C-alpha cells in the first residue's frame, strides 16, 4: 500500500514537471540559465585560485632569491673582515720600531696569507707599504677534482698608520688602520657603488704585548 502511495506521488510530480515544460518554456530556460551561470562561476573561482597561487609562488621565489643575496653578502663581508683581522694580528707581531721605520721611510713589510687547497695548506708572502692600496683575488671555492677556482672575490686592502707621538700627550705608539673593500660574486668590478667596505683598527705601542 505504501509503495503504491509513493509511486503515485512520484507520478504526480513527473506529470507536473512535464506540464511545466510544455506550458512554461520560459521557466525551463531560466533554470537552464541558472545552471550555466553556476558553471561559469566555478570556472572563475578556478582562475582566481590559480592567479593567487601564482602570486604566492612568485613571492616565495623572490624571497628565496633575496635570502641568497643576503647570505652571499654576509659571507663576502665575513671573509674580507677575517683577512683584514689576520693581517692586523701579524702587524702586532712586528716591533714598534720596525713599523715606525716602515712608516717614516716608506719601506715595505711582509705579511703572510693562507692558501687553502683540497688537502693542503700553503702560505703566500705579500709585501705591503703604508698608504698604498693592494688588490687581491680571494678564492672562495675550488673544484675538488681540477683544483680550479670556481668562485672568487676581488678584495682591495690599504694599510695606514698614524703616529701618536705628538700633541700635548705624546705616546710611543702607532694607530694602524686596515681599510678593506670587497665585491660579491656576479658583480662588475667597474661598479664602484657595489663594493662593500669595512676597516680594522689596532694600536701598536713601544711595549710589546706579543
Q: Which residues contact 36 (CB under 8 A, 6 or more apart)?
A: none
Q: Is 51's pLDDT higher than 90?
A: no
Q: For residue 83, is it within any domain? A: yes
Q: Is residue 33 domain-resident?
A: no
> Which pLDDT value is given to residue 203?
94
Question: Are residues 196 and 179 in contact, defined by beta-carbon separation less than 8 angstroms?
Answer: no
What span, in angstroms and rounded, lies between the C-alpha atoms of 121 and 139? Answer: 13
Residue 18 falls within a domain, yes or no? no
Residue 70 lies in a domain: yes
Q: What is the DSSP string of 161-185?
A: EEE---SSS--SEEEEEEEEEE--T
State pLDDT tens for residues 67-112. Answer: 877 778 888 899 899 999 999 999 999 999 999 999 999 999 999 8
Indicate whether 157 pLDDT > 80: yes
Cα 119 to chain centroid distance, Å, stands at 28
Phi, psi of 95, rounded to the nearest 5 degrees: -80, 160
The listed range with the strongest mean pLDDT (7-11, 24-28, 109-113) is 109-113
Mean pLDDT of 159-176: 90
- Predicted confidence band at 155 (pLDDT cuts at 50, 70, 90)? very high
Between 34 and 51, the higher pLDDT residue: 51
- φ, ψ (nearest 5 deg) of residue 190: -75, -15
Question: What is the chain's mean pLDDT, rounded?
Answer: 78
Q: Is residue 86 part of a domain?
A: yes
State the pLDDT confidence band at 184, using cuts at 50, 70 and 90. Answer: confident
Per-residue pLDDT, 161: 96
- Rounded mean pLDDT of 114-125? 60
Q: Is residue 48, in this structure, part of any structural domain at all?
A: no
Q: Give me the domain span that covers residue 126.
A: 58-205
- Residue 23 domain-assigned? no
How many domains is the chain built from? 1
Q: Position of cell 656576479? A: 186
Q: What percent of the chain has pLDDT over 90?
A: 34
The pLDDT value given to residue 136:
87
Using the predicted structure, report yes or no on whether residue 24 has a pLDDT greater than 80: no
Give residue 199's pLDDT band: very low, low, confident or very high (50, 70, 90). very high
Give the pLDDT band of residue 33 (cuts 50, 70, 90).
low
Considering the domain boundaries, does residue 108 fall inside one? yes
Amino acid at each position: 500500500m505504501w509503495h503504491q502511495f509513493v509511486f503515485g506521488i512520484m507520478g504526480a510530480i513527473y506529470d507536473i514537471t512535464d506540464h511545466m515544460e510544455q506550458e512554461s518554456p520560459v521557466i525551463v530556460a531560466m533554470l537552464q540559465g541558472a545552471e550555466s551561470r553556476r558553471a561559469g562561476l566555478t570556472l572563475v573561482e578556478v582562475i582566481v585560485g590559480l592567479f593567487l597561487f601564482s602570486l604566492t609562488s612568485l613571492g616565495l621565489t623572490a624571497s628565496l632569491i633575496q635570502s641568497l643575496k643576503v647570505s652571499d653578502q654576509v659571507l663576502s663581508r665575513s671573509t674580507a673582515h677575517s683577512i683584514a683581522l689576520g693581517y692586523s694580528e701579524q702587524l702586532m707581531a712586528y716591533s714598534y720600531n720596525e713599523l715606525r721605520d716602515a712608516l717614516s721611510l716608506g719601506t715595505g713589510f711582509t705579511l703572510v696569507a693562507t692558501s687553502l687547497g683540497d688537502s693542503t695548506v700553503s702560505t703566500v708572502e705579500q709585501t705591503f707599504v703604508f698608504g698604498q692600496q693592494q688588490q687581491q683575488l680571494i678564492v672562495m671555492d675550488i673544484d675538488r677534482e681540477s683544483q680550479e677556482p670556481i668562485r672568487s672575490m676581488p678584495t682591495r686592502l690599504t694599510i695606514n698608520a698614524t703616529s701618536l707621538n705628538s700633541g700635548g700627550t705624546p705616546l710611543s705608539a702607532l694607530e694602524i688602520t686596515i681599510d678593506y673593500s670587497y665585491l660579491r660574486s656576479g658583480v662588475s668590478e667597474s661598479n664602484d657603488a657595489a663594493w662593500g667596505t669595512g676597516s680594522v683598527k689596532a694600536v701598536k705601542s713601544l711595549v710589546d704585548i706579543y
